[in-house]
Chain A
Amino acid sequence: MNSIEIRDLVLRFGKTTVLQDLDLDIEQGEFLVLLGSSGCGKSTLLNCIAGLLEVSEGQIFINGRNVTWEEPKDRGIGMVFQSYALYPQMTVKGNLSFGLKNAGASKEEIEKRIKNASQMLQIENLLQRKPAELSGGQRQRVAIGRALVRDADVFLFDEPLSNLDAKLRTELRVELKQLHKRLQNTMIYVTHDQIEAMTLADRIAIMKNGFIQQLDSPATIYNRPKNKFVAGFIGSPAMNFLEGTLDCTGEPHFVVGEAKIPLAGYEFSQNLEGKTQSSFGIRPEHIVYGEEAQKAPFNAKVTVDVFEPMGSDTQVWAHVEGQNFRFRIDGRDKIANGDEMLIGFDPACASIFHGETEERI
């Protein structure tokens, strides 16, 4: 049985449609990340699942139960917010127990759950403090604790780490992963940070304009992006796109300017014949250079325009057939502007997208 099922969900604010005919199945115990830039509808979707926004059409099931009309408190969910949303005038303990007290839980039960949650999150020594006396990381732990004590089936996270600095973010990310491993609950996690998405998720749903563009494991999303948007969105630095023509008249190859890229190892998703206007995408980290480039199925000579040393590696900006092209070299290699370099790649790890539909070919 799926933990969460969403059927034909539509959400409108007045005349603007924010979510359009959305279907989504989430397995029991799965960690699903909703990823997208702001305004893509990811937080809206989460709020619909939580019951904080009323859907315009469609249904939501949690553990097989239709909760479309239920109040948030009756849906068996716990939620963690970006701004922590702790009750500022209550102690940590007060924050954890307020909902339980209100639901009429017994004193022993409340104590037990608070003890469990606070041990798990290592906030036992903070129970008597007020939120204002806590650091950002501690506050977010308490906010997670408030969701934990609800003993919910599903946890919803709305950009929980965005307000933290980079270091804390990394730490808490690992803790969240461990927490999921221990609890084995279904978790839905909204973020605009692709690193968070890649590291945490069992599956990632990439959203744009209220649609889910692709729903797959992080590896699939990275290696076989379904369309040009996903390909460009995931990965940093972003994927290189060479505009040209896919020629399937004989041995399939990709023509960009004077160059012909053989597509021997490429796994096609569609059967095309003849010539098709399309984009050839290759990630900067899949580019090899020097000796390795000579052995690669395709290679080309480029001139270094600009380079940006980042320490461990150096990003190089160049042109291939007049089109912008980026790649990474080892940070220890010496390089200068105007250098000529031989680069190469294996088309097997490339992605080709249709020029009009932008779908993967």
Chain B
Amino acid sequence: MSAGRAQAFWLRNLTAKIAAIPMILTSLVIFIGCSIWTVVYSFTSSRSLPVTDFVGFRQYERLFGAHRWSLAVENIAIYGVLTLVFALTVGFILAALLDQKIRFESIFRTIFLYPYAMSFIVTGVVWQWMFNPGLGIQHFVRQLGFENFTFDLISNRNTVIYAIAIAGIWQITGFAMVLMLAGLRAVDDQIWKASRVDGIPAWKTYVMIIIPMMRGVFVTSLVIIAAGIVKLYDLVVAMTNGGPGFASDVPAMYVYNWLFERANLGHAMAASTMMLLTVLIIMVPWFYMEYGRKNKN
């Protein structure tokens, strides 16, 4: 009797389990399985086809010895720091300005956010055109009479990553702004009233009370934007294709290059394992914090 009941119960939930198969397969086979596969094959000498010829850390040694890889890492670090700092601060400032009961708020918000609706390829192509030294912004300013003005970030090896960062920040700021605005709107109205009765100036209320209250929003925005930064690929392809030379290479492009163009799987897997490691370092503490906090409540 009880066995029969247990079976009926099992069967009754069976539809749900069958329906959840895509999710189960995706999480186990793709997210866990493929990641492990990649880590495992990073220790092999696989070239155009995966082989199980284990060579220890040799791929990693080569990776850390490669000038192009260290350039890619340096680039993503510069891009990442700039993007995070500017997207979060400018995003917050814009959100705070929009939160002052202004007219045309939705028009401003629409303008700040539309870049986020476009493809990185589109963004890259437009900014490439604006940075064009011969016909773009530099050309325009020189026409105004400033003959020696130079604004040629994109074709200079040392500055090309800043050109990409400007485009990337332009695209992502609206996203940060929307999250910040939602955070600001979630602040209890009575906190503002209390601070007015206390006679605290608005800017001081933001700095001393509101921003500390919004720590969670900042952390969430930071994690989401940071995870996007690690994936940076399309924008570079469209703007510079990694050039001049390899001056604007980034890890995602490096991996792609070694996977599909140079047919050196082992080396590409080592590089992507490093990317995975970076994400884990960012994510695990946050995930633990979020999940741990939820369990406590």
Interfacial residues, chain A to chain B (CB-CB below 8 A): 47, 50-52, 71-74, 77-79, 81-90, 98-99, 102-103, 146, 150, 158
* B142: Cβ under 8 A from any A Cβ: no
B213 touches A102 (CB 8 A): no
**Which of chain A's residues has its CB closest to B198's CB?**
A99
B190 touches A82 (CB 8 A): yes
Q: Given the known A-B contacts A89-B209, A89-B213, A102-B204, are A73 and B197 also in contact in the complex, defined by CB atoms under 8 Å?
A: yes
Interchain CB contact (< 8 A) of B197 among A78, A82, A86, A89 = A78
Distance (whole angstroms) from the CB of A357 to the closest CB of chain B: 38
Interchain CB contact (< 8 A) of B196 among A52, A82, A158 = A52
B190 touches A72 (CB 8 A): no
25 A-B contact pairs sorted by A residue (CB < 8 Å): A50-B193, A50-B197, A51-B196, A52-B193, A52-B196, A71-B196, A72-B197, A73-B198, A79-B194, A84-B190, A85-B188, A85-B191, A85-B193, A85-B194, A87-B191, A87-B194, A87-B195, A87-B208, A87-B209, A88-B213, A89-B209, A89-B213, A98-B198, A99-B197, A102-B200
Distance (whole angstroms) from the CB of A132 to the closest CB of chain B: 11
The distance in angstroms between the C-alpha atoms of A21 and B199, with both chains bound, is: 29
By the criterion of a CB under 8 Å from any partner CB, how many residues of chain B are at the interface? Answer: 17
* Other contacts beyond A71-B196, A81-B194: 5, CB < 8 A: A52-B197, A89-B212, A98-B198, A98-B208, A99-B199
**For chain B residues 205-224, which have a beta carbon within 8 Å of chain A?**
208-209, 212-213
Interchain CB contact (< 8 A) of A79 among B193, B200, B201, B213 = B193
Interfacial residues, chain B to chain A (CB-CB below 8 A): 188, 190-191, 193-201, 204, 208-209, 212-213
Chain B at the A interface: mostly helix, strand, loop or mixed? helix
Distance (whole angstroms) from the CB of B244 to the closest CB of chain A: 48
Most buried by A among B194, B199, B200: B194
B213 touches A72 (CB 8 A): no
**Which of chain B's residues has its CB closest to A81's CB?**
B190
Q: Given the known A-B contacts A89-B209, A89-B212, A89-B213, are A83 and B190 also in contact in the complex, defined by CB atoms under 8 Å?
A: yes
Residues of B within 8 A of A86 (CB): 194
Residues of B within 8 A of A84 (CB): 190
Distance (whole angstroms) from the CB of B134 to the closest CB of chain A: 53
Total A-B residue contacts, Cβ distance less than 8 Å: 66
Distance (whole angstroms) from the CB of B108 to the closest CB of chain A: 22
B188 touches A83 (CB 8 A): yes
6 tightest A-B CB contacts, nearest first: A73-B199, A99-B198, A89-B212, A85-B190, A85-B194, A81-B190
Residues of A within 8 A of B213 (CB): 88-89
The distance in angstroms between the C-alpha atoms of A52 and B194, with both chains bound, is: 10
The distance in angstroms between the C-alpha atoms of A77 and B191, with both chains bound, is: 16
Q: Given the known A-B contacts A81-B190, A83-B188, A85-B190, are A72 and B209 also in contact in the complex, defined by CB atoms under 8 Å?
A: no
Distance (whole angstroms) from the CB of A105 to the closest CB of chain B: 11
Residues of A within 8 A of B195 (CB): 87
Interchain CB contact (< 8 A) of A103 among B191, B193, B199, B204 = B199
Distance (whole angstroms) from the CB of A313 to the closest CB of chain B: 39
**Which of chain A's residues has its CB closest to B191's CB?**
A85
The distance in angstroms between the C-alpha atoms of A90 and B191, with both chains bound, is: 13
Distance (whole angstroms) from the CB of A74 to the closest CB of chain B: 8
Residues of B within 8 A of A82 (CB): 190
B196 touches A72 (CB 8 A): yes
A72 touches B199 (CB 8 A): yes
Residues of B within 8 A of A78 (CB): 197
Distance (whole angstroms) from the CB of A229 to the closest CB of chain B: 29
Q: Given the known A-B contacts A88-B213, A89-B213, are A98 and B200 also in contact in the complex, defined by CB atoms under 8 Å?
A: yes
Residues of B within 8 A of A81 (CB): 190, 193-194
Distance (whole angstroms) from the CB of B59 to the closest CB of chain A: 47
The distance in angstroms between the C-alpha atoms of A81 and B195, with both chains bound, is: 12
B200 touches A77 (CB 8 A): no
The distance in angstroms between the C-alpha atoms of A81 and B194, with both chains bound, is: 8
Residues of A within 8 A of B198 (CB): 73, 98-99, 102, 146, 150
Residues of A within 8 A of B194 (CB): 79, 81, 85-87, 146
The distance in angstroms between the C-alpha atoms of A83 and B193, with both chains bound, is: 11
Distance (whole angstroms) from the CB of B115 to the closest CB of chain A: 33
The distance in angstroms between the C-alpha atoms of A58 and B196, with both chains bound, is: 22
Distance (whole angstroms) from the CB of A3 to the closest CB of chain B: 18
The distance in angstroms between the C-alpha atoms of A82 and B191, with both chains bound, is: 11
Residues of A within 8 A of B201 (CB): 102
**Which of chain A's residues has its CB closest to B200's CB?**
A102
Residues of B within 8 A of A47 (CB): 193
Distance (whole angstroms) from the CB of B297 to the closest CB of chain A: 12
Distance (whole angstroms) from the CB of B50 to the closest CB of chain A: 52
A73 touches B191 (CB 8 A): no
Residues of B within 8 A of A87 (CB): 191, 194-195, 208-209
Distance (whole angstroms) from the CB of B183 to the closest CB of chain A: 14
**Which of chain B's residues has its CB closest to A50's CB?**
B197
Residues of B within 8 A of A88 (CB): 212-213
Residues of B within 8 A of A79 (CB): 193-194, 197
Residues of A within 8 A of B196 (CB): 51-52, 71-73
The distance in angstroms between the C-alpha atoms of A312 and B143, with both chains bound, is: 93
Residues of B within 8 A of A103 (CB): 199
**Which of chain A's residues has its CB closest to B205's CB?**
A87
Residues of B within 8 A of A74 (CB): 199
Residues of A within 8 A of B191 (CB): 85, 87
Q: Given the known A-B contacts A85-B191, A87-B191, A87-B209, are A102 and B199 also in contact in the complex, defined by CB atoms under 8 Å?
A: yes
**Which of chain A's residues has its CB closest to B209's CB?**
A87
**Which of chain B's residues has its CB closest to A88's CB?**
B213
The distance in angstroms between the C-alpha atoms of A33 and B16, with both chains bound, is: 57
